[in-house]
């Protein structure tokens, strides 16, 4: 914490920053959707700001629906948002108590990305990074609120970029512009004017335009941070905030190496890839054997020099080329020998041959990061299209394909991956690596997220709705996936653009001694002083098409690897298919169970034997995905108690004990409902477990029981008791945030805390948590939809995300555990509620501490694949079940209820169910002292993934209740949420 | 790299070495008190060489036996040849170190790029090296250590080199071998299956597998012949009846059962007895 403070101070000291900071707020105010949150927060620590902001907004939204007395509470809660944040936020943040200051979350991020050279600063940055994750989580919520913003951002594809660009150009006159020096792959230097506040995409688009490159999604711009580390320029963020006070120098390079370059549409794209690979080879980043060096070199010559000229004395000029980090005369001779055999090959063909050979190299497209394993042994982590590779020296000691990875996270300088359990293993395992510093960890994490998104996610198809529900981590891959870019490429319809291949001689030389960083080229290129080539004729129409394609952009918000999607990919299943599967979960389960016993049908086996088991398993997995969503049960019970004074003028209508009973009954019903759900959950859980061995089971079944009793005279205002299963909502929130957190924050650092921020914290700090919850729920509840839960359809997309993200957490490892939780939790809830009524405190907030069920968790971390098999270390995951109940009550009602027993006139219960919502309405008419009181208690159980906005659901429920019974008043709102939290064994 | 997989299984030469009379004597490797019939073993070996020469059409370079090196016939341990490069190993067993000398000489004469291990701490047995055509798997065994594997990785930089632990004094190829492009033949023992699992996890590539009941039967020699196509030298039905049946599932394969009953007693699998080389021109 202290370090952070220091860091900030430092930051302030920095001249550039000072400039930036003031600007940032302005920006926020103006346009940047992201920023607004920060601004609003103002007082709150910047990290927290997004959340706070959101909450406050939500609070407002809810307040509309809530009776005044409830509002008061809210207001209380409002003040607390900071606490909330704090809770969620790691301790560090709290300690930080940073000034509201300039630094918007994003900025902070950027700050992170740029490391400060000094040791002191670094730690601070690291912390920031950690915070950052949180912010991300928050950011997601933020996005929800600021949909438009988010939309912009996400949609931001080329169109937005183009527009931005244009806009930047025109207003540029006013705005300050900066000249960026972009080193191109051929070593030339391209000066680019951009507005000072321009986002990365603007510069990138300019460079691509200059290059006449359409298949640009494989490329990116990188810069060197203070620590001389290569960083990718995030297109979605302002350049200035990313590079900070580093020089505006960038290198255009390949970011995603296409596994099969022959599938690229245009030769120019292949050419650029060749240039990148030549750099990689010359710098030694891409190791080759002698023979391969020679062969690739010969293709290079053919592409750049044309057919071998027997008259020219080859060896002289040949030695000006760099074919290898160090090349011998022998190699050059070999190159020429092979070169001669390529006679007649066109440059494009030579490039293609070059790529065909280069792509087979084992280190092709592998982005290496230095790290240490848990025992401090130096290893390398390689991120590639297929997953994560672990090397010790030059030996591959393990490999984690994307489908095997459940979660990627980083915390401080540690990088973690959660591994899907193998056939024989019961629990997922986590593997941790130590990176040199926090920024390295974050960089690795980002690269992983991007690579996974780019290579594994086929269809980003996220409907806006889904986006709304889905919390997006702040950082995510904002470009197209490979699938999308391929699809888009098929639309490219232009004559092959003319481009000149320049000799790689000088370039190669300039790279000497530079270990593989694209940035390195800059110096050399600069010295060369080459001017950029003229633009090739570009077709405006092309641009348009590319724009349209841009819509396809994926908004990768998965911190968690979306296994479900992955599975879907494998199956080639559409989402609808998945849904169908969902319909028959039990069947799926069965299938799954059947298939489980069989060792994973190895893909290897497929060829020899088409094993039906495989398909079964896949199905099961698909089912799993589906199920996951439902795993998190959101149950909200809205109890509306309407006290109708029999005679006008009846001042106080005491809520009869009967009412309490009714409520209890309702609760019981709820319980039953819950139980049912619980069962469902269990099943799901099982599936989940097997499919994904998710150790972290966060099942939050919060019950929100809002009981508002208002006695009204003339109009007979009904009291509405709304019991929202806020718990789930909360849980979801928690999980959602945790998901997002997990992606960004958790991974960042908070994971342990972040996932179930509210819940966990609540447990730990009951009081604070209480407050938090209260706030959170009201705040969060926004929409007024009759159905507390989002429509199933909506959910599903969300579910996917959740499944990937939240599911692991939400799923309870043991069905029994969940049940226990629920059982315990609900009774408590009921008890609490009744207690609240009985006691009749004015505006009583009762928080019951949820029972905690702990289950063992298994964590295995092995760097070596071999070890894993041999060592079966199971750490038993701990499942925490947290139940929290918050009761809002009108003071008067309580008193009345207690005092006067009254007589039951009628009672009826209506239960309606929708996919994700079970609504139980209990209507009781009591005759009390000549006053008839109608008490309506609604219990809404919302079950769904973490995606569901529980607050929203609650708000809806309350609003609905009000609308349905305008003549009644809400007297009590009880929110009960149950959360099952699996904590990782390690911190 | 060029034409990487197309060349898989294409060989032009084979290096073999005769079985010395000392073969049957107890040597350090033979802890089991297994009676080895020297004459039988030598006869087997001759037949084996005949198959290489006549059925596979390889140019066989036969080295003379060295009585001081009882295991010298198992030339595979002495060198790993891939493409034009030959890595002369440093066998894990002291008494076998000298076996590499003669092998190195003959490979040198073939104009291969010779790479030698001069690191005294490194050990590597060729029997622990499985080359799939796309990558290497190296068994970390009693005879092969990490350093040896690293040197292998340095030697063949184009390929991924993944390590697979192998216990019980066996070699990686004691229970597996390549049965064709992308086809791994694997034994049924727990050890074999575990190794396979690791290999699967380590590889970006999806291999087919052919599981045979007997580990020893999983060591086969695959050759792609220009005229006959896929060809597999495997155990005889007499030795491993159940496993032999499995090979019949390989369609479009020329199956050549080769007796190896005596040599296998001393861990002399089929692949052990030759170094296959693809030498263009």
CATH number, domain at B125? 3.75.10.10
Which of left, alpha, beta for A17 (phi over 0: left; psi -120 to 50: alpha)?
alpha
Compute the count of residue pairs across chains A and B with CB atoms less than 8 Å apart: 107
Q: Residue B215 has which token pair? A: 């580990």
Q: Residue A504 has which token pair? A: 């790689």
Interface contact B162-A295, CB threshold 8 A: no
- Buried b / exposed e along A721-753 (16+ C-beta atoms within 10 A): bbbbbbbbbbbbbbbbbbbbbbbbbbbbbbbbb
Residue A657 pLDDT: 41
Q: B27 or A299: which carries more pLDDT confidence?
A: A299
Please give, rounded to a whole number of angstroms, the shortest distance from the CA of B83 to a CA of chain A: 9
Query: What is the spatial distance between Cα A70 and Cα A706, in angstroms, rounded to a whole number?
Result: 10
- pTM summary value: 0.56
Sign of CA dihedral B29, B30, B32, B34: positive
Mean pLDDT by 10 residues, chain A (987 residues): 39 41 40 40 40 43 46 40 38 36 39 35 34 36 35 40 47 72 92 91 94 92 89 90 89 95 93 95 93 93 87 72 88 91 93 95 94 92 94 92 90 90 77 92 92 80 38 60 80 78 55 35 34 35 34 34 32 38 40 38 40 36 32 32 35 37 39 30 21 33 36 39 35 32 34 28 27 29 36 37 37 36 36 36 38 36 50 37 52 43 58 53 65 70 55 70 71 64 39
Query: What is the spatial distance between Cα B183 and Cα A408, in angstroms, rounded to a whole number?
Result: 33
Q: Residue A655 has which token pair? A: 């809520």
In Å, what is the CA distance from A278 to each residue of A186, A314, A322, A325, A353? 10, 20, 8, 10, 13
DSSP annotation string for A160-210? HHHHHHHHHHTGGGTS-EEEEEEE-TTS-EEEEEEETT-BHHHHHHHHHHH
Contacts of B164 in chain A (CB under 8 A): 866
Please tell me which residue in B171, B176, B220, B234 is annotated as part of the active site: B171
Query: What is the spatial distance between Cα A670 and Cα A725, in angstroms, rounded to a whole number?
Result: 10
CA B236 to chain centre: 18
Q: Residue A864 has which token pair? A: 């070596």
DSSP state of A493: -
Three-state secondary structure string covering B244-257 = HHHHCCCCCCEEEE
Q: Is beta strand B85-88 parallel, antiparallel or unpaired with respect to B113-116? A: parallel
Residue A887 pLDDT: 55
**Mean pLDDT value of segment B171-181:** 94
Query: What is the spatial distance between Cα A457 and Cα A454, in angstroms, rounded to a whole number?
Result: 6
Query: What is the spatial distance between Cα A567 and Cα A99, in angstroms, rounded to a whole number?
Result: 45
DSSP H or E run through A977: strand A969-983
Residue A941 pLDDT: 65
Interface contact B83-A289, CB threshold 8 A: yes
Nearest beta carbon to residue A866 from set B160, B198, B208: B198
Q: A421 or B112: which carries more pLDDT confidence?
A: B112
Nearest beta carbon to residue B161 from set A394, A602, A869: A394
Nearest beta carbon to residue A605 from set B135, B161, B209: B209
Rg (CA), chain A: 30
Q: CB A767: neighbour CB atoms within 10 A?
A: 9
* DSSP helix/strand/coil, B223: strand
Q: B235 or A486: which carries more pLDDT confidence?
A: B235
Interface contact B135-A870, CB threshold 8 A: no
Among chain A residues, CA nearest to B161: A395
* DSSP helix/strand/coil, A936: strand
Residue listed under structure tokens 């291949």? A501
Contacts of B208 in chain A (CB under 8 A): 604-608
Among chain B residues, CA nearest to A393: B150
Nearest beta carbon to residue A604 from set B1, B162, B209: B209
The CB-side HSE value for A141 (13 A sphere, CA atoms) comes to 40
Contacts of A386 in chain B (CB under 8 A): 204
Burial class (CB in 10 A: 0-12, 13-18, 19+), A127: buried
Please give, rounded to a whole number of angstroms, the shortest distance from the CA of A354 to a CA of chain B: 10
Domain count for chain B, please give it. 1
Q: Which of A323, A387, A395 to mutate to test the interface with B (most CBs of B within 10 A)?
A: A395
Q: B6 or A84: which carries more pLDDT confidence?
A: B6
Q: Residue A728 has which token pair? A: 């789930």
**Bridge-partner residues for A882, per DSSP?**
A979
- Buried b / exposed e along A143-155 (16+ C-beta atoms within 10 A): bbbbeebbbbbbb
Residue A903 pLDDT: 59
Query: What is the spatial distance between Cα A562 and Cα B189, in angstroms, rounded to a whole number?
Result: 35
Which of left, alpha, beta for B229 (phi over 0: left; psi -120 to 50: alpha)?
left
Query: What is the spatial distance between Cα A435 and Cα A606, in angstroms, rounded to a whole number?
Result: 38
B220 flagged as catalytic: no
Residue listed under structure tokens 């609540």? A762
Interface contact B1-A295, CB threshold 8 A: yes
pLDDT over threshold 90, residue B217: yes
Contact with chain A for residue B172, Cβ under 8 A: no
Sign of CA dihedral B235, B241, B242, B247: positive
Contact with chain A for residue B162, Cβ under 8 A: yes
Query: What is the spatial distance between Cα A288 and Cα A394, in angstroms, rounded to a whole number?
Result: 13
Among chain A residues, CA nearest to B163: A397
Query: What is the spatial distance between Cα B25 and Cα B273, in angstroms, rounded to a whole number?
Result: 18
Q: Residue A826 has which token pair? A: 């609900």
Contact with chain A for residue B160, Cβ under 8 A: yes
Please tell me which residue in B72, B82, B272, B273 is annotated as part of the active site: B272
Among chain B residues, CA nearest to A868: B198
Q: Which of A887, A879, A888 is nearest to A756 (CA)?
A: A879
Contacts of A422 in chain B (CB under 8 A): 197
Q: Which domain holds residue B189?
A: 2-277
ipTM > 0.90 for the complex? yes
Interface contact A288-B206, CB threshold 8 A: no
B272 flagged as catalytic: yes
Interface contact B153-A288, CB threshold 8 A: no
DSSP H or E run through A443: helix A438-456
Query: What is the spatial distance between Cα A40 and Cα B184, in angstroms, rounded to a whole number?
Result: 62
């Amino acid at each position: 914490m202290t370090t952070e403070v220091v860091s900030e101070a430092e930051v302030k000291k920095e001249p550039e920053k000072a400039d930036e900071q003031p600007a940032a707020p302005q920006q926020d105010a103006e346009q940047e959707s992201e920023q607004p949150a920060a601004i609003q927060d103002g007082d709150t620590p910047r990290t927290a700001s997004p959340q706070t902001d959101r909450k406050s907004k939500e609070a407002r939204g809810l307040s509309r629906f809530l009776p005044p007395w409830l509002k008061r509470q809210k207001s209380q809660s409002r003040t607390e948002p900071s606490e909330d944040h704090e809770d969620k936020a790691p301790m560090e943040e709290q300690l930080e108590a940073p000034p509201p200051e300039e630094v918007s979350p994003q900025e902070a991020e950027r700050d992170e990305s740029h490391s400060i050279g000094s040791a002191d600063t670094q730690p601070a940055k690291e912390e920031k990074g950690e915070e950052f994750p949180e912010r991300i989580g928050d950011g997601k919520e933020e996005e929800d609120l600021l949909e438009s913003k988010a939309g912009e951002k996400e949609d931001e594809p080329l169109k937005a970029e183009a527009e931005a660009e244009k806009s930047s150009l025109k207003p540029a006159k006013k705005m300050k512009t900066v000249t960026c020096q972009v080193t191109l792959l051929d070593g030339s230097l391209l000066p680019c004017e951009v507005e000072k506040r321009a986002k990365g995409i603007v510069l990138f688009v300019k460079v691509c335009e200059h290059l006449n490159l359409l298949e640009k999604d494989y490329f990116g711009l990188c810069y060197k941070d203070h620590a001389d580390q290569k960083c990718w320029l995030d297109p979605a963020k302002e350049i200035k905030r990313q590079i900070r006070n580093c020089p505006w120098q960038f290198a255009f390079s390949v970011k995603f190496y296409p596994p099969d370059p022959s599938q690229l549409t245009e030769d120019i794209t292949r050419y650029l890839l060749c240039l990148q690979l030549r750099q990689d080879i010359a710098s030694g980043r891409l190791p080759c054997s002698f023979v391969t060096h020679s062969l690739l070199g010969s293709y290079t010559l053919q592409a750049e020099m044309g057919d071998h000229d027997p008259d020219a004395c080859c060896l002289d000029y040949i030695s000006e080329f760099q074919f290898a980090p160090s090349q011998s005369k022998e190699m050059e001779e070999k190159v020429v020998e092979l070169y001669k055999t390529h006679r007649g090959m066109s440059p494009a063909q030579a490039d293609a041959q070059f790529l065909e050979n280069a792509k087979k190299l084992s280190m092709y497209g592998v982005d290496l990061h230095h790290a240490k394993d848990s025992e401090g042994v130096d290893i390398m982590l390689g991120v590639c299209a297929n997953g994560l590779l672990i090397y010790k020296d030059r030996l591959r000691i393990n490999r984690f394909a994307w489908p095997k990875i459940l979660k990627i996270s980083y915390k401080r300088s540690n990088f973690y991956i959660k591994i899907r359990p193998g056939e024989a293993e019961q629990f997922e395992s986590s593997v941790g690596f130590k990176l040199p510093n926090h920024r390295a960890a974050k960089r690795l994490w980002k690269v992983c997220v991007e690579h996974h998104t780019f290579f594994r996610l086929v269809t980003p198809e996220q409907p806006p709705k889904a986006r709304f529900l889905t919390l997006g981590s702040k950082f995510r891959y904002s470009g197209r996936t490979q699938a999308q870019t391929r699809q888009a490429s098929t639309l490219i319809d232009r004559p092959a653009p003319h481009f000149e291949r320049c000799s790689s001689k000088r370039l190669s030389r300039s790279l000497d001694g530079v270990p593989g960083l694209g940035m390195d080229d800059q110096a050399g290129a600069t010295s060369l002083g080459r001017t950029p080539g003229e633009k090739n004729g570009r077709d405006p129409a092309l641009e348009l098409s590319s724009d349209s394609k841009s819509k396809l952009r994926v908004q990768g918000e998965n911190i968690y690897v979306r296994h479900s999607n992955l599975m879907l990919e494998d199956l080639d299943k559409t989402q609808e298919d998945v849904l169908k599967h969902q319909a028959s979960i039990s069947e799926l389960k069965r299938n799954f169970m059947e298939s489980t016993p069989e060792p994973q049908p190895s893909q290897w086996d497929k060829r020899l034997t088409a094993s039906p088991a495989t398909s079964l398993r896949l199905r099961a997995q698909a089912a799993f995905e589906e199920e996951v969503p439902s795993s998190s049960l959101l149950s909200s019970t809205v109890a509306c108690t309407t006290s109708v004074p029999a005679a006008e003028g009846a001042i106080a209508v005491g809520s009869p004990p009967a009412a309490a009973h009714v409520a209890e009954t309702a609760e019981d019903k709820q319980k039953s409902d819950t139980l049912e759900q619980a069962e469902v959950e269990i099943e799901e859980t099982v599936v989940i477990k097997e499919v994904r061995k998710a150790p972290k089971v966060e099942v939050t079944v919060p019950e929100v029981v809002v009981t508002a009793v208002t006695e009204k005279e003339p109009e007979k205002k009904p009291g509405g008791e709304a019991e929202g299963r806020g718990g789930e909502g909360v849980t979801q929130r928690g999980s959602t945030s945790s998901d997002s957190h997990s992606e960004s924050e958790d991974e960042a650092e908070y994971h342990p805390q972040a996932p179930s921020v509210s819940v966990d914290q609540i447990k730990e700090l009951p009081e604070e948590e209480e407050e938090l919850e209260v706030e959170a729920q009201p705040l969060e509840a926004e929409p007024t939809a009759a159905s507390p839960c989002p429509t199933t359809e909506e959910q599903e997309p969300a579910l996917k995300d959740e499944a990937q993200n939240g599911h692991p957490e939400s799923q309870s490892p043991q069905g029994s555990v969940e049940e226990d939780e629920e059982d315990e939790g609900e009774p408590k809830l009921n008890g609490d509620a009744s207690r609240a009524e009985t006691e009749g405190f004015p505006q009583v907030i009762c928080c019951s501490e949820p029972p905690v069920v702990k289950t063992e968790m298994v964590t295995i971390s092995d760097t070596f694949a071999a070890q894993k098999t041999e060592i079966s270390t199971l750490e038993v995951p701990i499942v925490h079940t947290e139940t929290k109940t918050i009761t809002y009550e009108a003071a008067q009602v309580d008193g009345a209820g207690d005092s006067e027993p009254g007589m039951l006139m009628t009672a009826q219960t209506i239960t309606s169910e929708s996919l994700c919502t079970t609504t139980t309405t209990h209507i009781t008419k009591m005759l009390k002292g000549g006053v008839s009181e109608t008490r309506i208690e609604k219990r809404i159980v919302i079950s769904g993934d973490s995606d569901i906005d529980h607050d929203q659901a609650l708000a809806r429920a309350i609003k609905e209740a009000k609308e349905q019974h305008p003549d009644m008043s809400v007297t009590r709102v009880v929110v009960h949420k149950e959360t099952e939290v699996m904590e990782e064994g390690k911190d | 790299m060029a034409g990487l997989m197309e060349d898989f299984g294409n060989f032009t030469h084979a290096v073999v070495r005769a079985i010395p009379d000392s073969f049957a004597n107890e040597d350090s490797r033979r802890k089991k008190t297994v009676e080895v019939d020297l004459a039988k073993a030598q006869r087997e070996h001759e037949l084996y060489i005949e198959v290489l020469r006549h059925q596979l059409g390889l140019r066989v370079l036969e080295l003379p036996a060295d009585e001081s090196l009882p295991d010298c016939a198992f030339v595979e341990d002495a060198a790993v040849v891939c493409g034009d490069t030959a890595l002369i190993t440093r066998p894990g067993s002291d008494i076998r170190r000298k076996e590499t000398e003669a092998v190195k000489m003959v490979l040198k004469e073939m104009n291969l790029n010779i790479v030698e291990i001069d690191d005294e701490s490194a050990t590597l047995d060729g029997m622990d090296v499985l080359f799939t055509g796309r990558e290497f798997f190296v068994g970390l065994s009693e005879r092969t250590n990490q350093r040896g594997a690293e040197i292998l990785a340095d030697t063949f930089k184009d390929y991924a080199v993944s390590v697979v632990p192998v216990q019980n004094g066996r070699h990686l190829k004691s229970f597996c071998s390549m049965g064709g492009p992308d086809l791994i033949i694997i034994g049924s023992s727990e050890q074999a299956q575990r190794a396979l699992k690791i290999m699967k996890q380590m590889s970006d590539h999806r291999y087919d597998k052919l599981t045979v009941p007997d580990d020893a039967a999983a060591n086969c020699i695959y050759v792609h012949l220009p005229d006959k196509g896929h060809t597999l030298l495997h155990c005889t039905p007499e030795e491993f009846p159940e496993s032999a049946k499995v090979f019949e599932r390989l369609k479009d394969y020329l199956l050549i059962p080769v007796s190896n009953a005596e040599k296998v007693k001393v861990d002399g699998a089929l692949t052990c007895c030759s170094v296959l080389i693809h030498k263009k021109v």
